[in-house]
Structure 1
Amino acid sequence: MSAPRPPARSGPVRVGVLGTASIARRRLLPALAACPDTRLVAVASRAPATAEEAAAPYGCEAVEGYGALLARDDVDAVYVPLPAALHAPWVRAALTAGKHVLAEKPLSTDAATTGGLLALARDKGLVLSENVMFVHHARHAEVRRLIEDGAIGDVRAFHAAFTVPRPPDGDIRHSAGLGGGALGDMGVYPVRAALHLLGDGL
């Protein structure tokens, strides 16, 4: 989402994870640990035992508190899988601490805040990216090329749906105070697909 600065050091990107959400445990922690271009340095949680449990399978450090992880000088970038309402404050804190950021979607809960985060990343020469994976898939690049080249004619309408099983009662995605709700959680995918394929002028 923002232009990267040239790498300040060689070797794998040293990554810290702010939180132990299911998506982090199931997908990102294993991927970061397996990738030769990243080194998983630490996992932070408000609860020390939770941080230990998430970090142990990967041999990385468990850190109590997100701020403590951001204060480390052996972390180049952070991944933020916290509830949506907490993305903006912790993304801002990470950028202020000089860390590149990969944050779960949505980047924030309103456009003005998102714009401010992008401006902060740009001013600091840091990478800020929202974790929307499909925009990097080859099939989506090909569909975008076909549309841009006019190979399928003029696109006059776009219909999309994205569904998942209903989260159980008590899940944070049901909590408006944590940025929950269908539009922010699942609606991001069809809206982002429309923007990716048809352009920002929608």
Structure 2
Amino acid sequence: MPEPITPELIQEAARGSQQAFRAIVEANQRFVYAAAFRFVHDQHEAEDITQDVFVRLWKNLHAYKPEVKLTTWLYKIVTNRCLDFLKSRHGRHRNNKVDVSLQLNVNSTSTPETDLHRQELTALVYAAADELTHKQKAVFILRDLEGLTSDEVCEALSMTAGNVKSNLFHARQKIAEKLKNRYQTTDKSFL
């Protein structure tokens, strides 16, 4: 999660201060990129989406409401942009995905075998998430991978608490089933 940005800095950026806006971008670009990558699994697309998110933020900062956390607003922008991307790509096959292992934070005490298991599990979770509906995928990523609270997910996706809970339940159920099917015939001790 990025460091909190003061309302004064946001107001300064909204008045056109490039220095203030640069500070906002620097404080938030890693988490925006990470959220985008979790949706699209493509380094270049995630970079493009990240840039687009900040362009949209710059153009709409005047409409920012201080009662909403900036990070929640950014999650809403990145989620909407990613969902637009996923809808436009529907039916097209992409082969330029970055190896999942490049996105992992590998523990220095881990063994090659545990690293391989972690990479395989991560790839399976991403593959399973790709088979979810767009809403289920968005809720799953924001809640379980990004660690947002249910209230923040509701606000970021403009959904009711019941819809978030239902989509999260179904997403987890589908992902668990996919993992169960994969490991049912192989190493059961891994899960």
TM over 0.5: no
Compare the two structures and name the one with the higher helix fraction: 2
- TM-score, normalised via structure 2 length: 0.29
Normalised by the size of structure 1, how large is the TM-score? 0.28
Please state which structure has a larger fraction of its residues in strand. Answer: 1
